[in-house]
Amino acid sequence: MDFTWKIGGAQGEGIDSAGEIFALTLHRMGYYIYAYRHFMSLIKGGHTNYKVRVSSKQHRHRGDMLDLLVAFDQRSIDENLHELKSGGAVLYNAGAFEPKFPGDVDIVPIGVPMQQIAKDHGSIVMTNMAAMGASAALVGLDPSAFDDFIAERYGKHGADVVESNRKVVRAGYQAASEVTSWRAKLPELSPESRGKKRVFMHGNDAIALGAVVAGCRVVAAYPITPATDILYSLLKLLPQYGGVVLQAEDEMAACQMAVGCNYAGVRAMTSTSGPGFSLMTETLGLSGVSETPLVIVDVQRAGPSTGMPTKTEQGDAFQAIFSSHGEIQRIVLSPATVEDCFYDIQRAFNLADKYQCPVIVLTDLALGLSKQTVEIDDIDFERIKIDRGELLTEEQVKEIAKNGGYKRYALTESGISPRALPGQEGGVHIAISYEHTEEGYEDETPLHRVAQTQKRIRKMSTFDPAEFGVRRSGDAAPDLLLVGWGSTIGQLDEAREALKAEGYTVGHLHLSVLYPFPSQAVKEAIESARTVLVVDNNAFGQLRQLIQLNVGHYEHVHDCRKFSGEPYKVFEIVTRAREVLAASKSVKEVG
């Protein structure tokens, strides 16, 4: 069983820190946490909330419902009440506002003067701490549970600040204990889970950590929501290894810088979101034709244009796959989990070096910013070995120089031309954005054009997208096959279980590679199912269209699309699945 908690208020009221303290405290106790931040593109005011799903097993989404809502203002009630379970409670900041509820809802309002408590025992900025204490009382948690974390977070401000925060927590606890008998229960912790050391991170953290493990030593980027956290993590990590975070003047420069470092032999990447990716697309072509490795992380947000910077969407699949004028080789990965983020970024660097082409790692806001509990063993630093591909040593270059000279774009059987690095004697060469000869000389004759294009196509022939990019779970030859990609894996897992409980056989195919497309695996899975539902967190059904493009048209393939800027809820997928199952049944009966 789960417990779900949400705290809401205006931006600038410490909602995020309260949420994080609550989440991390329970995480350390041994619970599996999934934390979801709802925020807006402004600094003060508006509405922000932080939802924490507390569970005794690992989940990969925030949960559809809510047990306890902590509301600092009326807007927090208005925007979140629909999520509250029947019989759930609203803990509101009594005295700060007079809460209004619709007449017909079965909920328990609990008024605790959190702001006043904060003022009395510390200061008004500690209102969130009073909320912590009150929440603890309602879920049967000892107020001392937050003590360590408060010391960690506020210790730098002095012992008295730590002490006041702790006092406010206890006063909040006391007040809530007295004012209501409503109680929620935290899930049962198994003895082996109790206090077990696990990792609490989001996709952006995992990308940063994975990059450093992969030997990435430069990140060049321009700040953008929701990708900036990757920079923050790397600012802590890279200098430990002599690495560099370069804040570029714009995304064009950032991406060109990543190319420059890779050309010089240092693994480098850039991280961005849709609007930044749009500016980088010219450099995709440069990486492609100059055959310079490049890794781009696109933490997708709701577009188009500026779109909704703080909302999630899987809207950039087409852009990742098709952008850039002309035709280039590339690889597009779409990690589904935090662990995937950690490994896929490492794979991305290996693939970029091996195939000397751009590799795009597509995550999204929901995966990038939702902190969650991950098993330590699932962040294995040695699973993916650094493989620099056909990178020549100085000795090899000298040998080649003696035997006729080094050619950067040599027409090899594999299509991969070994790379020399600038600085290597005998390896002097031209890397170039124009079409070129084997030597890298600018050239427009059909002879070289065709040979070089064929070479670039040929080099990808050994890439097998099914090798790591396809997950299949659930029933074989099912009534319904759910197909998804990227961050929706958690909701799809739970939707599969829910539909199975209704008596259907259900399979789940999940893709973490979108290009080159794993056509064979998708085709087999689709053809084995009676009905197929392709789930996209976008309006155009981009995966659904990719399937049609790469595998073909099937009458029994349907789409499920959501484009509100919010991640899926399980019931939305289940509802749509029932529709298509019912339709396919009636067609069958008629037929």
Partner 1 sequence: MASAVSVKEYRGYAQQPTWCPGCGDFAVVAAMQRALVNLGLKPHQVVAVTGIGCSGKFNYYLGANAFNSMHGRSLPVAQAIKIANRDLVVIAAGGDGDGYGIGVGHFIHACRRNIDITYVVMDNHIYGLTTGQTSPTSEKGFKTKTTPYGAAEHPIRPLPLALASGCGFVAQGFSGDVKQLQGLFEAAIKHKGFALVNVFSPCVTFNKEQTYDWWRENLVNLDEREDYDPTDKAAAYKVVTETNGLVTGIVYREERSDYQDELPNYDPKPLVYQDLSQPIKDREKLLKAFM
Q: Does 429 bind partner 1 (CB under 8 A)?
A: yes
Among 209, 221, 525, 557, binds partner 1 (CB under 8 A): 209
Q: Does 395 bind partner 1 (CB under 8 A)?
A: no
Q: Does 426 bind partner 1 (CB under 8 A)?
A: yes
As a whole number of angstroms, the distance between CA 375 and CA 261 comes to 34
Toward partner 1, which CB reaches closer, 206 or 526?
Answer: 206
DSSP state of 570: H
x/- track of binding to partner 1 for residues 438-467 (CB under 8 A): --xxx-------------------------
As a whole number of angstroms, the distance between CA 270 and CA 295 comes to 7
As a whole number of angstroms, the distance between CA 202 and CA 23 comes to 13
Number of residues that bind partner 1 (CB under 8 A): 68
Query: Segment 403-422, which members bind partner 1 (CB under 8 A)?
Result: 421-422
As a whole number of angstroms, the distance between CA 75 and CA 8 comes to 8
Among 28, 455, 496, 544, binds partner 1 (CB under 8 A): 28
CB of 420 to partner 1, least distance (A): 9
Query: 3-class SS at 437?
Result: coil
Q: Does 51 bind partner 1 (CB under 8 A)?
A: no
DSSP state of 30: T
As a whole number of angstroms, the distance between CA 376 and CA 586 comes to 48
Among 54, 134, 248, 320, binds partner 1 (CB under 8 A): 248
Toward partner 1, which CB reaches closer, 81 or 252?
Answer: 252
Among 257, 297, 352, 495, binds partner 1 (CB under 8 A): 257
CB of 252 to partner 1, least distance (A): 7
Among 110, 184, 199, 348, binds partner 1 (CB under 8 A): 199
CB of 144 to partner 1, least distance (A): 19
Toward partner 1, which CB reaches closer, 322 or 381?
Answer: 381
Toward partner 1, which CB reaches closer, 278 or 520?
Answer: 278
Q: Does 215 bind partner 1 (CB under 8 A)?
A: yes
DSSP 112-133: E-HHHHHHHHS-GGGHHHHHHH
Cβ-count burial 55-82 (b if 16+ within 10 Å, e if not): bbebbbbbbbbbbbbbbbbebbbbbbbe
Token code pair at residue 277 = 């990716």
- To which H or E segment does residue 321 belong? helix 317-322
Among 282, 378, 438, 464, binds partner 1 (CB under 8 A): 282
Q: Name the segment binding partner 1 (CB under 8 A); options: 30-38, 285-293, 320-328, 578-586.
A: 285-293
Pair type for strands 294-300 and 66-71: unpaired
Q: Does 322 bind partner 1 (CB under 8 A)?
A: no
Token code pair at residue 571 = 């019931």
Q: Name the segment binding partner 1 (CB under 8 A); options: 81-89, 91-99, 357-365, 378-386.
A: 378-386
Q: List the Cα angle 438/440/442 in 5-degree steps.
A: 110
Phi first, then psi, for residue 541 (nearest 5°) are 65, 60
Q: Name the segment binding partner 1 (CB under 8 A); options: 9-17, 196-204, 471-479, 527-535.
A: 196-204
Pair type for strands 331-333 and 268-272: unpaired
Asked if 11 and 46 touch (Cβ cutoff 8 Å), the reply is: yes
Which residue, among 459, 492, 456, has the nearest Cα to 474 in the 3D structure? 492
- State the burial class of residue 185 (Cβ atoms within 10 Å of its Cβ: 0-12, 13-18, 19+): exposed
Q: Does 147 bind partner 1 (CB under 8 A)?
A: no
- Work out the number of other CB atoms within 10 angstroms of the CB of residue 109: 16
Q: Does 328 bind partner 1 (CB under 8 A)?
A: no
Among 59, 62, 166, 198, binds partner 1 (CB under 8 A): 198
- State the burial class of residue 554 (Cβ atoms within 10 Å of its Cβ: 0-12, 13-18, 19+): middle
CB of 288 to partner 1, least distance (A): 12
Q: Does 302 bind partner 1 (CB under 8 A)?
A: no
CB of 422 to partner 1, least distance (A): 4
Contacting residues toward partner 1, per CB under 8 A: 28, 197-201, 205, 209, 212-213, 215, 217-218, 220, 236-237, 239-244, 246, 248-250, 252-254, 256-261, 263-268, 282-283, 285-286, 290, 376, 379, 381-382, 386, 421-434, 440-442
